[in-house]
Amino acid sequence: MRFKVLKGKLHWVRVTSKDLNYEGSIVIDGDLLKEVGILPYESVLVINVETGGRFETYAIPGGKGEVKVNGGTARLAEVGDRLIVMAFAWMDVEEAQSFKPKVLVLGEGNEVILRK
């Protein structure tokens, strides 16, 4: 049996911009993605802390501090909203029991304030 387990999380990233006319996705600071192990174009679950809304999209690496919500999902977040971005991996029971996800808590300017 395989289990879907949290592999990486960016907690409280702030939306810096949005573009309704882009094809889709969320652009996130590439250094942050790399640190939590989220690959370019990997599927991510995004939760808007301000509204409680959720959406699934894919991550694209961006510039320093950048978090840009694109396409139709741009209607689900406003500049300044806090988001939680999560990626998951499928694991067997032995791996899942010992696995520890990489988690970053971010400050107002999308700087890392805590590594868990």
Tell me which residues are annotated as active site.
25, 58
Rounded to an integer, what distance in angstroms lies between the CA atom of residue 50 and that of residue 90?
29
Residue 57: closest CA among 36, 68, 41, 37: 41
Identity of the residue numbered 43: S
In this structure, are residues 13 and 105 in contact, taking their beta carbons and an 8 Å threshold? no
Rounded to an integer, what distance in angstroms lies between the CA atom of residue 92 and that of residue 67?
33
